[in-house]
A and B are shown apart, each in its own frame.
Chain A
């Protein structure tokens, strides 16, 4: 009897020993939340904290999927959300107090907060964050090019672009933007529309981003910042900067682009843009904002379309990039990293979850999720289809992959100065011409860069 028992125990022990390596080498896609019969991990009694920024719509959708995850895993999720501006102030206070939440939304400014971010490479390698349906290129949108660290999982991709009102173009007898329209086309269209309507044709612009695009468009190999965010990458050639500062300032002084007061009034609130009420023909935006803008425009019976950023040369570089709109990152000081990785896995990969979110943060990077959304006529309408088409188009531009995914720490200040000192200074007559503004900007940009090098 005893012998038998001993034999049985030995057999069990042997089986267990054999099973251990088998369990360590989990099959690829073992944590695929969409797989039939997938069992969510049990986190009963555990608490995960999350923080994000965004609109009320985003807050409602995110809360909904948080409750979904709580139900599936038994975890309790504590969450906070702020508007885009207030978020970073809170973030920095929490950072100073070592009190950041386990999971937080992060922007392309992740280099600035690098020490707070846990690289996700290990979680991707062991499959906790399932990437079987995510392409390398999509993962690359959040990778630190300098060392290969995955700084977060993108919540979706977007591209900076223009929304326009085709009806106003028709009225003014101006052709619609083409996929490779130029700054000259842009200026001509704007001038004709302003003449026809008496209103500024263009309301808000992201000046820094347009200036950086112009640099990329100017010459192959040029970028305002290097891919790894370690330096500038245009040899200090100020010609593209002179060009874009001159062009946009001229258009503004002619009343084709709304003055800075109007631009600041509209601010980040895209839903308040004049284009939504038929009073402007073009506005620059991030493609994931198009849905919200279109919803407001539809109330006035306006149907909007999307266009690319104009180019310097029609056959030249696009200066556009498909980028991560924002990402979910794990706090390096978190005690719940494995649980956080599982939440991100659900957030990025679950079809059920993303049917709720419906690309509000950007076009999903998971091809299964995207296919499911596109196949669902309730989730994909004319408006979202336009966004998908634009992202596909930009993705097909050869130079779209050459722009840096990382914003260097100095970017915030350089962009602020470019807008307020140079573009707004031009409007205020502080510079003799665009060349003077461009020269002084380049000198100041280098000074600012040096400050961050020494920090």
Chain B
């Protein structure tokens, strides 16, 4: 009896599934506690009049109805779309360009890759934003250069038209992770294709558009979606550098949500905004997935 129990216990622990669950437990627990439960709560709060520290009061779809009338929210959606539409392609083009430069085998290739990856390591940190603020500030080198060219009184962060540009450039500068993914994709492309094309007389541009881009397209899809999602969630730079200004020109949606929730105490309303943002991101991602069959190419 005792022996049988032990074997059962032993077989339980030796079961592959059980071992798998045990190893996955830290993730499963943290996913439940830090992602799923907060998301469910935020969905509930989005239908409530809720202020941190007070009891939520159910108000149905009132928050969502108010969103339709909220000019600040509509504006932040528009400026976020502007940021994503300009920033993401710029970053991907730049990442691909550098990745292609770095695929040429040189001795210090590894070093170069590491150097170009560093900006991504420090990510959306406050320190980078502060450096950028200095760099593009009214007395920074970039503005001094523009002023030397004759544009007196120009100031990025004082202009509703140009304030977004340093933020987009800051994002594009952190191209490292996309670059690494592109670089590994480029390595997979068989040299034979290029050799054959070269024999047929295809130039570098033709080779790029006819071989590199099509074969790389699944990787481009992956990078595009990852960057779109992170683009929609941009926060730190806008908060540190411009505080959403001037006149809401860089009041991106994540920043707007933060302000509504934490500065103005409308946590329920902020939750409603974040759910609308989630739906928009899901829709954009969905559309890209749906259309991807037309422009991605899988070798096999």
Contacts and interface: CB of A to CB of B under 8 A. Distances in A.
Given A413-B263, A454-B49, A259 B245 contact: no
A259 B247 contact: no
Contacts of B259: 416
Interface stretch (B156-164, B186-194, B217-225): B156-164
A262 B248 CA distance: 16
A102 to B, nearest CB: 17
Contacts of A96: 52-53
Interface string B212-248: 0000000000000000000000000000001111111
Given A95-B52, A416-B259, A424-B247, A261 B158 contact: yes
A46 interface: no
A427 B157 CA distance: 13
B31 interface: no
A197 interface: no
Contact of B247 (A112, A412, A427): A427
A361 B53 CA distance: 28
A261 B243 contact: no
A255 B155 CA distance: 13
A416 B53 CA distance: 23
Interface residues of B, number: 31
Contacts, number: 85
| Chain A residues touching B, range | 20 to 34
A121 B296 CA distance: 71
A178 interface: no
A219 interface: no
B51 interface: yes
A421 interface: yes
Given A92-B52, A416-B259, A260 B264 contact: no
Nearest to B249: A428
Contacts of A267: 243
Nearest to A255: B153
B246 A424 contact: yes
Contact of B155 (A95, A259, A421, A430): A259
A116 B53 contact: yes
A292 B145 CA distance: 32
Q: Provide the main secondary structure of the chain A interface.
A: helix
Nearest to A413: B264
A261 B263 contact: no
A26 interface: no
Interface in B30-67: 49, 51-54
Contacts of B248: 420-421, 424
Contacts of B163: 261
A452 B159 CA distance: 32
A116 B248 CA distance: 32
B49 A420 contact: no
A428 B161 CA distance: 10
A262 B265 contact: no
A455 B247 contact: no
A115 interface: yes
A88 interface: yes
Contacts of B264: 412-413, 416
B133 A265 contact: yes
B34 to A, nearest CB: 14
Interface of B: 49, 51-54, 72, 133, 137-138, 153, 155-160, 163, 242-248, 251, 259, 262-266
10 contacts: A92-B53, A259-B158, A260-B246, A264-B157, A265-B157, A416-B263, A420-B251, A421-B72, A424-B245, A424-B246
Complex A-B, nearest 9 residue pairs according to Cβ-Cβ distance, in ascending order = A261-B158, A261-B157, A259-B158, A424-B247, A260-B246, A413-B264, A261-B155, A428-B247, A96-B52
Given A261-B159, A412-B263, A421-B248, 12 more contacts: A96-B52, A259-B158, A262-B155, A262-B158, A264-B242, A264-B243, A267-B243, A420-B247, A420-B248, A428-B246, A455-B51, A455-B266
